[in-house]
Amino acid sequence: MKEREHLLSEFKQMVRILRTDIDGNLKAIIGLTRIKGVGFAFADALLKKLNIDKDKKIGDLTEKQIKEIEDSLKDASSLNLPSWLVNRRKDLATGLNLHLVGSDLDITVKRDIDRLYKTRSWRGIRHSLGLKVRGQRTRTTGRRGVTVGVKKKRAR
């Protein structure tokens, strides 16, 4: 009975990793995907490198394991993961393979779009006009606001 109470006292309902609150009842692999910039494949590779069971509830992780996860997410290059797994390959400023998470990812994407504006590239113009950037069709999709189309005949 005491063991069960001991286990219940260690369980955390909410775990905070990199300024993100994660429900403690989620499996570790799913809980890590709640952090912006961490996908399923990256979370799986991270947990394998740290020897943490991916099916374990994130609320059952020890403080040491949570600290390891945070440190690894802050410096993903220390994990020696393949370059195709990180979300920013050959960064323009540094030339390194980086993995950005949270607000760092937002700031970097905003900076990239601003650079496209300043150079007046085609992608920058499309961003500034709020249109599709990657070559998608715009004749029928991507409409916002009042729909413009064929008027229907009024029923009598």
**pTM recorded for the entire structure:** 0.75
What is the C-alpha separation between 152 and 149, in angstroms, rounded? 9
> Would you say residue 20 lies in a domain?
yes
Q: Is residue 29 part of a domain?
A: yes
Closest CA to 49 of 82, 16, 96, 84: 82
Contact 77, 97 (CB under 8 A): yes
Residue with tokens 């990256």: 42
Is the residue at 155 inside a domain? no
In this prediction, residue 5 carries a pLDDT of: 47
Residues with Cβ within 8 Å of 13's Cβ and at least 6 positions away in sequence, in order, are: 23, 24, 25, 59
Tokens of 124: 């920058």
When divided into structural domains, the chain yields a total of 1
Query: 11 lies in a domain?
Result: yes
In a domain, 26, yes or no: yes
Determine contact, residues 106/36, Cβ cutoff 8 Å: yes
Q: Which alpha helices (DSSP H) does 11-156 contain, by range?
A: 28-32, 40-49, 63-74, 103-119, 122-129
pLDDT at 42: 92
Using 70 as the pLDDT threshold, list the residues of the chain that sit under it: 1-9, 145-151
Domain with residue 20: its CATH number is 1.10.8.50
pLDDT of residue 96: 84
d(CA 18, CA 46): 15
Residue 46 lies in a domain: yes
Give a yes or no: residue 62 inside a domain: yes
94 within a domain of the structure (yes/no) = no
Query: Which domain covers residue 63, as residue numbers?
Result: 2-83
